[in-house]
Amino acid sequence: MIFVTGGAFQGKTEFVKEHFNIQEQEIVDGCLCEYHKIYHARVINHFEGLLLRLLKENKSVSKVIEDLLWENKNAIIISTEIGCGLVPVDTFEREYRETVGRSCCQIVKNANQVYRVHCGIATKIYDSGNS
């Protein structure tokens, strides 16, 4: 599994397409896709959007992540950093922010590589050596 993170509109998707030779049809959008597609997709974009949908629909985030880690070990997961800045006043927004942070940590624990993209420049911040 490969995890790519960075701020909004920093070039994460372009980096993944170029660096890993990914075609558009290999990417599912976590904000919009049918849930079952994440278990077979080469790339899951907007992972934070997927988590938002799960929370809003009262689905088990931990179960989905557990299944994802088991069923799609070679996925590339792209997630926007949302933990910086002011802590939201709204209870749901705080829960969402915490869920994204903890979920990304769970993904990274199982990832072979982790990249952070800023201003279109990717930095490899972790490599297990088992790529």
Q: What CATH number does residue 101 fall under? A: 3.40.50.300
The DSSP letter of residue 30 is T
> How do residues 18-70 score in pLDDT, each as one tens digit?
999 999 999 999 999 999 999 999 999 999 999 999 999 999 999 999 999 99
The model's pTM: 0.94
DSSP type of residue 85: S
**pLDDT for position 9:** 95
Q: Give the Cα separation of 77 and 47 in Å (integer).
A: 7
The whole-number pLDDT of residue 88 equals 81
Domains identified in the chain, total number: 1
**Which structural domain range is residue 108 located in?**
2-127
Task: Measure CA 126 to chain center.
Answer: 15
pLDDT tens across 57-112, in order? Answer: 999 999 999 999 999 999 999 999 998 878 888 999 999 999 999 999 999 999 99
Q: Which two tokens stand for residue 84?
A: 């910086």
Please give the Cα distance from 43 to 71 (Å, whole number). 13
